[in-house]
Chain A
């Protein structure tokens, strides 16, 4: 069972990396970028085929995500795509 966890900074939390990417894009001539926010994508391959979204959420709260500053979204990867 495969899951993807998308980790993003909470709205309003300053994102220095996103800002640097934004400046670099502008330097390359991409002048119409309004804002850039950088996040993380974590792919999990779980041995337990019955592992649920709740199990992944548990991993997010215990380690993968710092909920003080980050939000997360869990996506189940369908067998055909994996």
Chain B
């Protein structure tokens, strides 16, 4: 699996994501700076990492979503390249219009940083193939703006089309219908607030995230 990780000013999970991809695919991803206008050829996966791109100014992910490299990311997604957005990466993908809805300030105002239980709602996407269908995994969350909101029609559509990939087993941040991760219509773009790259090796305390990356390697070669 050939992968790339996008790096914005203020990204801080880019190296964790790169390490997770290296460990599970055996191949180091290419790190791509936000001002680049082209991506490496032959990519199977693009990772949009967590962090605080552009200091979260204006709205989380707003400026990053308009940076030059995102045009190339959008074009690649339209060609079918898989795109994984984690935390700030999820915010960037919604701001870029690649996923519906928006991530707002947590309903409890506070930053939430802890392990949370997640229900695997859809295990048919390339991202979730190795996750237990209908089962529970535990991953860490660390965010201030993880409160997923969309209008009722959009939420119904996401549910009806099986595009809710991950759901919080409890209310974590006020998200509509406890949504923690969604895929796009085509199923090749996933945005999720929890951090799979922080649960890859035993030293992390948990390894449920590793299965997500192994599933990607399996699905994308």
Contact = CB atoms under 8 A, between A and B. Distances in A.
B59 interface: yes
Interface in B67-117: 94-95, 100-102, 104-109
B188 interface: no
B177 to A, nearest CB: 14
B187 interface: no
B58 A63 contact: yes
Q: Interface majority SS on B: helix, strand, loop or mixed?
A: loop
Contacts of B94: 68
Interface of A: 13-14, 16-17, 19-20, 62-64, 66, 68-69
Interface string B38-69: 00000000000000000000110011001000
B147 interface: yes
Given A16-B107, A63-B66, A66-B102, 19 more contacts: A13-B104, A14-B107, A14-B147, A14-B174, A16-B104, A16-B106, A16-B108, A19-B109, A20-B109, A63-B58, A63-B63, A66-B59, A66-B62, A66-B95, A68-B100, A68-B101, A68-B102, A68-B150, A69-B102
Contacts, number: 38
Nearest to B97: A68
Nearest to B174: A14
Max chain B Cβ within 10 angstroms of own Cβ: one of A20, A63, A64, A66: A66
B interface, how many residues as a size bin?
20 to 34
Contacts of B59: 66
A47 to B, nearest CB: 21
Interface of B: 58-59, 62-63, 66, 94-95, 100-102, 104-109, 147, 149-150, 174
22 contacts: A13-B104, A14-B104, A14-B107, A14-B147, A14-B149, A16-B104, A16-B105, A16-B106, A16-B109, A17-B109, A19-B109, A20-B109, A62-B66, A63-B58, A63-B63, A63-B66, A64-B58, A66-B95, A68-B100, A68-B149, A69-B102, A69-B149
